[in-house]
Structure 1
Amino acid sequence: MFEKLALYCDKSANLIPVSFVLGFYVALVLERWWGQFRTVPAPDGLMVAVAGSVHGADARGRLLRRTLLRYGSLAALLVLRAVSTPVYKRFPTTDHLVQAGE
């Protein structure tokens, strides 16, 4: 029975090239990785938008920009904490976030 199965698999292996199947597999893995990479937020875009749209060199403008940027950094840190073990070990509770100044 095993010999018949081995012969059948050997005969069927010639129908579809291994490189063709491997190409599909690599494309699928890279697509999933790229999707996850694009999903993780980076606060840089938000920071550029805030710096460009919130004007004022006085204390109120600086405080508003700083507060918005801190909220953006905190949101990114909370997301990274949910998906990254080293970040979660560094900030296991919200008290650790407060101590670090986030």
Structure 2
Amino acid sequence: MRWNLRMKAAERGIWKSAEMRRRLAEAGLDISAGKMSGLWTGTPTTIRLDDLDVICEVLQCEPTDLLIREPEKVAQRRPAQPEEQNATAPAVVPRLGRNRTAPPA
């Protein structure tokens, strides 16, 4: 996911994090300067849904405007699988240890 807060804020004429913080406070979300800096300059690892709701209200946008999917990055993370595995899966053979019985038929 890509965090798009600064672009959405710029579209609304908000160019500085202090201005965004002030507008969030007016909307009922009192946010620390450190947390605002993290939201403004990078991609947050977590965000409360209530906070996201207020941010969307202030910017008059939807969460999908702030959180942009990047399916190509997901595809890059997927491990490459050899074609042999895709063709046929190996048969599962139960391993019987000491004092174990065979599963019911």
Q: TM-score, normalised by structure 1?
A: 0.24
Q: TM-score, normalised by structure 2?
A: 0.23
From the two aligned structures, give the one with the greater helix fraction.
1
